[in-house]
Structure 1
């Protein structure tokens, strides 16, 4: 008689009384009746393993390092408790990086929101070549942030007279501007904001475009019968209210992406002399702290945990404020 510890999907009814071991129970639940879930795990399994190894394990290890004095090592032994967190919360450089994030968010979120919505409205009104213009505006999304930053830095906003921006200024008799090194006024913000706008506006345009195409045509027909004028009046009272769910999702994604700003800042402002003391968002500051001269992985990990908590709290607060997930009347 076979052992009850060996499970088979084709087991006869007489085996139902056998007591299964915990591994057999887990295997039966994962595979499902008659191995129906087998192909699901065949395709999803490699991705799940990669996600665990390259995302969740590093996150757990970073949390572990945040409680230790980890200088130049990823296997520390000196437990310091919450000392790293106290140091980061009182660090003026880390506080300045959070202020940089606030400034960046205050500019990039409304600018991207307005630009992507305007592009979506224009593309949605096209009666011909709509797919072409949708693809053209979305194409920058596929571009690498590093490549785009280098193009902005070396070609468009180059500080010498051969840069495109300075060439255009020269046509009007204006002086050349060192775009990335001038802090009064801070022209580097123009470079950073424009490259981020170019890279991400197309993605959010697609989201708004999907929301626009879901608005029932009968609403516009009813508005026309009631005498509503096309343009701002229809947009204010029909189009924009119908885009409420999409608008909330766009704002949430924009804020989260602003917290994660790194590539454009680092590649635009860093040089052979290193990164300047200004315009350091949180991720750039933590990168320099953990992988720079100090190699303080404990403080860097504590700062990363603090940043993750701030993102989580900000996201939940926005979701509650906008009523995300709330049933509409």
Structure 2
């Protein structure tokens, strides 16, 4: 018989390793439990509700199958909300992208007080969307002659404009677009600024030796291609955030009479469907699932089209 092979026992975990594991769960555990209870459980239950007839209750018994999905997809108001999102994203995504990139380029070229201007442009991101929307609504684009915008128009002899109530032309897009630009441009400027500071200086030195002119030519052939990964990430975040627009729309356009029939993004539509007079939680949950699937599809298509994750050649 072959001699028995003696196996050395596995070393036991040291006290320091056990302490590390213990303190890891002490700090991470409460956040993990909170994330599960207040995020994943509600998400899962929302999917369950979407298959039930849930009026004024979160514990329904009447199974509806795909009925809620057929109702939500055939509802013209829901399709109109998706059109509102398309218009909003067509306005805010390229405008924020271009403005944040321009600010990043300007701040990156500064030789002095760069930290000051970086903080100044980033500061609006700390402001609440609700507060900013009320400032825009009550002070800047007030529909009476005392608003800042109408005061400026009055200097040139123009009549006051009801910015949020005029639909032909739809001046409310100017109000919604400018408040979102003011709130989020600084954040994406920081992302672009981080990308700019990672570009090796030797690329610009080599381009100068090859005769490249500073300015547009350098930006087109060196700076912008080097920012490809950052640009793709910014574009993805902008589209996802546009889908999630709610605060500025609701606080700008709603009043004591309710919300107007125009400019309803998907989340505003779902808010009134699930929490309005009918409180159809099943239909609202089906709309939320459809919206989540749309966001996922758009994100994947955009990532594939832009080559996100593809190895650089």
Q: Which one of 216, 227, 230 corresponds to residue 211 of structure 2?
A: 227
The Cα offsets for residues 90-144 of structure 1, whole Å up to 9 and x where unpaired, read as: 1000000000000000110000000000000000000000000000000000000
CA distance in 2, matches of 1:35, 1:42: 10
> Could you list the runs of 5+ residues in structure 1 that have no partner in the other structure?
1-11, 17-27
Cα drift, residue 39 of structure 1: 1.3
State the partner residue of 1:240. 224
Cα drift, residue 34 of structure 1: 3.5
Q: How many residues align?
A: 305
State the partner residue of 2:4. none
CA distance in 2, matches of 1:201, 1:136: 11
1:120 maps onto 2:107 in alignment: no
CA distance in 2, matches of 1:117, 1:96: 32
The Cα offsets for residues 195-225 of structure 1, whole Å up to 9 and x where unpaired, read as: 0000000000000000000000000111111
CA distance in 2, matches of 1:85, 1:203: 36
Cα drift, residue 13 of structure 1: 4.7
1:92 maps onto 2:83 in alignment: no
CA RMSD of aligned residues (A): 1.7
CA distance in 2, matches of 1:88, 1:237: 47
CA distance in 1, matches of 2:10, 2:180: 65
State the partner residue of 1:182. 166
Q: Which one of 297, 304, 310 corresponds to residue 288 of structure 2?
A: 304
CA distance in 2, matches of 1:160, 1:85: 43
State the partner residue of 2:3. none
State the partner residue of 2:188. 204
CA distance in 1, matches of 2:105, 2:10: 65
CA distance in 2, matches of 1:89, 1:217: 53
Cα drift, residue 227 of structure 1: 1.2
Cα drift, residue 174 of structure 1: 0.5
1:193 maps onto 2:167 in alignment: no
TM-score by length of 1: 0.90
CA distance in 2, matches of 1:282, 1:32: 51
The Cα offsets for residues 238-281 of structure 1, whole Å up to 9 and x where unpaired, read as: 00000000000000000000000000000000001000000000
1:265 maps onto 2:249 in alignment: yes
1:290 maps onto 2:290 in alignment: no
Cα drift, residue 14 of structure 1: 9.6
1:53 maps onto 2:53 in alignment: no
CA distance in 1, matches of 2:258, 2:226: 48
1:40 maps onto 2:21 in alignment: no
Matches within 5 A, 1:307-326: 307-326=291-310
CA distance in 2, matches of 1:152, 1:15: 65
State the partner residue of 1:154. 138
CA distance in 2, matches of 1:131, 1:288: 44
The Cα offsets for residues 40-97 of structure 1, whole Å up to 9 and x where unpaired, read as: 1111111111111111111011111101111111111111011000100110000000
Q: Secondary structure at the match of 1:302?
A: helix
Cα drift, residue 35 of structure 1: 4.8
Over 2 Å off, 4+ runs: 12-16, 31-36
CA distance in 1, matches of 2:231, 2:138: 35
> Could you list the runs of 5+ residues in structure 2 that have no partner in the other structure?
1-7
